[in-house]
Amino acid sequence: MARKAGVPVVSTFHVQAEHLLHNVGVRSPTLVNWTYRFFLRTTYNRSDAVLCPSAFAERELRRYGLRVPSAVISNGVPPEYRPLPREECERFEGRFTILSVGRLAREKRHDLLIEAIRKSRHEGRIQLVILGDGPQKARLEELGKVLTHAPVFRWLKPHELIRYYGGADLCVHAADVEVECMSVLEAMACGLPCVIARSPLSATSQFALSEDFLFEAGSREELTARIDRWIDDPAGLERAREGYREAAQRYRVEASVDKLVDLCRQVIAGRRPVKP
């Protein structure tokens, strides 16, 4: 319909094939390949340009056969995500608070995080807070019963997350699959250090301040080691807060909007002539 009207089309790539398949327990490379080919045939290669939220996302589409122009533009983090005064934050006094934000789905690996905490030397003083909802909630609540302090599960509106980012000691993102990850960007903007899974199917490791904030995806042992390492170094963790906050400034939503407007102008300028 857009073609017939002479209107150019810009598509956005925000859902990986692995998101769809892993969420229902399917890990077939053949089906992943088929799904990407379907995306490309029906949408992306029929568009005038494709917007990708990360360089990783762009590489994935190119790897599976993207032929049209593309641009890397972050979703961008809004200005309201910022450090708050201590008294405005949601805190669990006397406990080391680990925060995880996102949909409760298989590929987010909250189960791995629970197991990593269970094996921590500091397990008895850790409070896990999981913000989000999804099909894995009942299973995760059951798994969390093994911890001294049962995980806190809450679903909140976006603006309500800020006081939890401000009150936590560490954010952990253990997902296997991710095209960017807004929750990590939001945490960074609030000055919350993030431990992130290094996965070949995720872009999120690009945000890690150093190797000490990365672990191999799926490795319970490495995640436990990272958690213990930062609990043992509160001064280093406090210094990392400023580093993460400064790094988030590169992903301001205002900059993303400017880039998106420029992309749309380029596409409009180069649109194909309309047939009578």
Question: Do residues 10 and 127 share a domain?
Answer: no
In a domain, residue 245? The reply is yes
In a domain, residue 246? The reply is yes
Which candidate, 220, 189, 230, 182, places its Cα nearest to that of 203? Answer: 182
In a domain, residue 129? The reply is yes
Number of domains composing the chain = 2
DSSP track, 132-185: ---TTHHHHHHHGGGSSSPPEEE---GGGGHHHHHH-SEEEE--S-BSS-HHHH
Instruction: Write down the pLDDT at residue 274.
Output: 47
Domain residues for the domain of 192 are 86-250
Instruction: Write down the pLDDT at residue 275.
Output: 46
Question: Do residues 47 and 94 share a domain?
Answer: no
Instruction: Write down the pLDDT at residue 236.
Output: 96
Question: Do residues 51 and 178 share a domain?
Answer: no
- Which CATH number characterizes residue 102's domain? 3.40.50.2000
10-residue block means of pLDDT along the chain (276 residues)?
A: 88 85 78 92 95 93 95 94 93 95 92 97 97 95 96 92 96 92 94 95 90 96 97 96 94 95 91 50
Question: Do residues 220 and 198 share a domain?
Answer: yes
3-state percent breakdown (helix, strand, coil) of the chain, nearest 5: 50, 15, 35
Question: Do residues 21 and 92 share a domain?
Answer: no
Question: Do residues 228 and 176 share a domain?
Answer: yes
Instruction: Write down the pLDDT at residue 168.
Output: 97
Question: Do residues 91 and 26 share a domain?
Answer: no
Question: Do residues 231 and 161 share a domain?
Answer: yes
Number of residues that this document lists for the chain: 276
Question: Do residues 232 and 109 share a domain?
Answer: yes
Q: Which long-range contacts (C-beta less than 8 Å, at least 24 apart) are formed by 263-270?
A: 263/10, 263/49, 263/51, 263/71, 263/73, 264/10, 266/49, 267/8, 267/10, 267/48, 267/49, 268/8, 270/8, 270/48
In a domain, residue 261? The reply is yes
In a domain, residue 275? The reply is no
CB atoms within 10 A of CB 211: 9
In a domain, residue 274? The reply is no
Instruction: Write down the pLDDT at residue 26.
Output: 77
Instruction: Write down the pLDDT at residue 17.
Output: 80
In a domain, residue 48? The reply is yes
Question: Do residues 93 and 156 share a domain?
Answer: yes
In a domain, residue 81? The reply is no
Question: Do residues 262 and 156 share a domain?
Answer: no
Question: Do residues 173 and 239 share a domain?
Answer: yes
